[in-house]
C-alpha cells in the first residue's frame, strides 16, 4: 500500500528532476520480494515495452497514435529501468553516461547504424 510518505516523496519541488532523484523516488514505490530482485523488474520492463509496441502497432491498424497513452507506458518503462538499475547497483546517471559514451564511440567509428553489441 502506498503511504503518505510515498506520496510526499513525489512532491514537485524537485522539478525538473534529474535521473538519480527519479531513481531514488521510484525506489520508494518498489514493492516486491528481494529474492526476485533483478528478475521482477526485468520481466516488468519487458511487459511494459510490449505495451508501448502494442500502442504503436495500433497506428498501423487504426491510423491513430495515442501519444498520451504511449507516454504513460514509457513512464512505466522508465520506472522498471530505474528499479532494475538499482537492483544491479547502478545509478541512472551512470547508465545514461556510459550509453552516450558508447554511442559516441560508435559514431566516431562510423558504426552507429548496424548490428551487434561490439561495433
Q: Which three cell numbers stand for residue 77?
A: 518503462
How far is Cα 62 from Cα 30, in angstroms, rounded to an integer? 35
Confidence (pTM): 0.82
Q: For residue 7, is pLDDT > 90?
A: no
How far is Cα 40 from Cα 6, in angstroms, rounded to an integer? 21
Q: For position 111, what pLDDT does the model report?
A: 87
Q: For position 100, what pLDDT does the model report?
A: 96
**Highest mean pLDDT out of 39-43, 63-67, 109-113:** 39-43
Q: For residue 95, is pLDDT > 90?
A: yes
Boundaries of every domain in the chain:
4-109
Could you confirm whether domain 4-109 is CATH 3.40.190.10?
no
Amino acid at each position: 500500500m502506498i503511504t503518505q510518505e510515498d506520496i510526499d516523496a513525489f512532491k514537485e519541488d524537485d522539478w525538473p528532476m534529474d535521473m538519480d532523484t527519479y531513481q531514488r523516488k521510484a525506489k520508494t514505490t518498489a514493492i516486491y520480494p528481494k529474492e526476485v530482485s533483478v528478475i521482477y523488474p526485468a520481466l516488468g520492463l519487458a511487459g511494459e515495452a510490449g505495451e508501448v509496441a502494442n500502442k504503436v502497432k495500433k497506428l498501423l491498424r487504426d491510423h491513430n497514435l495515442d501519444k498520451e497513452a504511449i507516454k504513460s507506458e514509457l513512464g512505466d518503462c522508465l520506472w522498471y529501468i530505474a528499479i532494475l538499475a538499482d537492483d544491479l547497483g547502478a545509478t541512472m546517471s551512470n547508465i545514461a553516461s556510459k550509453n552516450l559514451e558508447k554511442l559516441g564511440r560508435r559514431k566516431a567509428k562510423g558504426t552507429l547504424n548496424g548490428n551487434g553489441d561490439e561495433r
